[in-house]
Structure 1
Amino acid sequence: MKFRQRPREELELNLIPLIDVIFMLLIFFMLTTTFIHDRALNVTLPVSDQGSEQRAPVKDHVIEIAKDGRIALDGHIMPSNALLPQLKAIAKDGRPVVVWADAEVINQKVISVLDLVRSAGITKVGLGTTPP
C-alpha cells in the first residue's frame, strides 16, 4: 500500500511575539527605574524635625548652594549673575524649584538666591532638608 506524502511545510521562526516581549520588558524597566537628580556640588542639607521626608520629584528644578557660595542649577555650576536669565527661562514651564542649601552656607546667600527666584516669577519654591 502506497501512502501519499503530504508536502512538508517549511518551518519558520516567528519573531513577532519575541519582539513584543522585548518591548514590554523595555517599557517595564523604563517605568521602574529610579531617577536621581544630578548633583554638581557636595551639599550637606540641614536637619529638620518638621520637614517632609518626601523627596523632590525629578521634574522639579534644583538649585544647589555650596558652603563656599558656589551655585548650581539642575546639575550645572554657574555664576550668580547667570542665574537670573536661566530662572526666567525656567519660569515659563511652571515647574517648582527646590533650593538645596548647605547647612553651613551664609544665610544672606540663600536669601539672595530666593530673591532671584522670586524676581524671575517663580512662585513654587521649596527648601531641601534631611530628616533627623
Structure 2
Amino acid sequence: MRLRTRERAEPDVNLTPLIDVVFLLLIFFMISTTFEREAQLKVDLPEASTEAAEAPPERLEVTIKGSGDIFINDQQVVNTKPETIKRAIEELLGDKRDLPMIIRADSDSALQYAVTLMDIARQLEIKQVSLATVQTDAGQ
C-alpha cells in the first residue's frame, strides 16, 4: 500500500498591510511638515585670532554695511545692483587688474552681497580677493 505524502506549503508573508502603514506614515509626515524658503543665509561671519598682515599701499577696499550700503574705497555706491557695482569697480580699477580687492562686511550684513562681490571680481578677473575679519581679544 502506497501512502500519499502531502506537499509542504511554504509559509507566506503578506506584505500588503506593511506597505499600507508605510504609505500612511509617508503621507502623514508630508502633510505635517512645513517647508520654508530661505531668503537669506544666516551666517556669523568669521573673526580672526591672528594679527593682520600689512597690506600693500594700493588696494581696492569694498565695505558692506549692515544696512546694505556698499562703499568702494570709502565712496558710497548709488545702488546695490550688480551692474552698478561692477561699473564702479571697473572705473576705479582702470587697467590695474592685479590690484588686490578686500571685502569688509559687517557681521550683520547679508552674505549675498559678499557673494555678489566675489562673482564680480571673478568676472573682472581680479586675482587677489580677500575677506577682512575682525580681530578678537583672544589674538592679543
The bucket for the TM-score relative to the shorter chain is 0.5 to 0.7
Unaligned 5+ segments in structure 2 are: 1-44
Please report the TM-score for the alignment, with normalisation by the length of structure 1.
Answer: 0.57
Task: Give RMSD over aligned pairs.
Answer: 2.1
Q: CA deviation at 1:91?
A: 6.1
Unaligned 5+ segments in structure 1 are: 1-44
Are 1:102 and 2:106 matched, yes or no?
yes
Query: Deviation above 4 Å: which 4+ runs of structure 1?
Result: none
Are 1:92 and 2:95 matched, yes or no?
yes
Percent sequence identity over aligned pairs: 20
What SS is found at the alignment partner of 1:72?
strand
Q: CA deviation at 1:119?
A: 1.2
Are 1:74 and 2:76 matched, yes or no?
no
Q: Take 2:94 and 2:101, find their aligned partners in 1: how far apart are those partners?
A: 9
1:64–1:101 CA contact under 8 A, matched in 2: yes
1:56–1:98 CA contact under 8 A, matched in 2: no
Which structure would you say has the larger Rg? 2
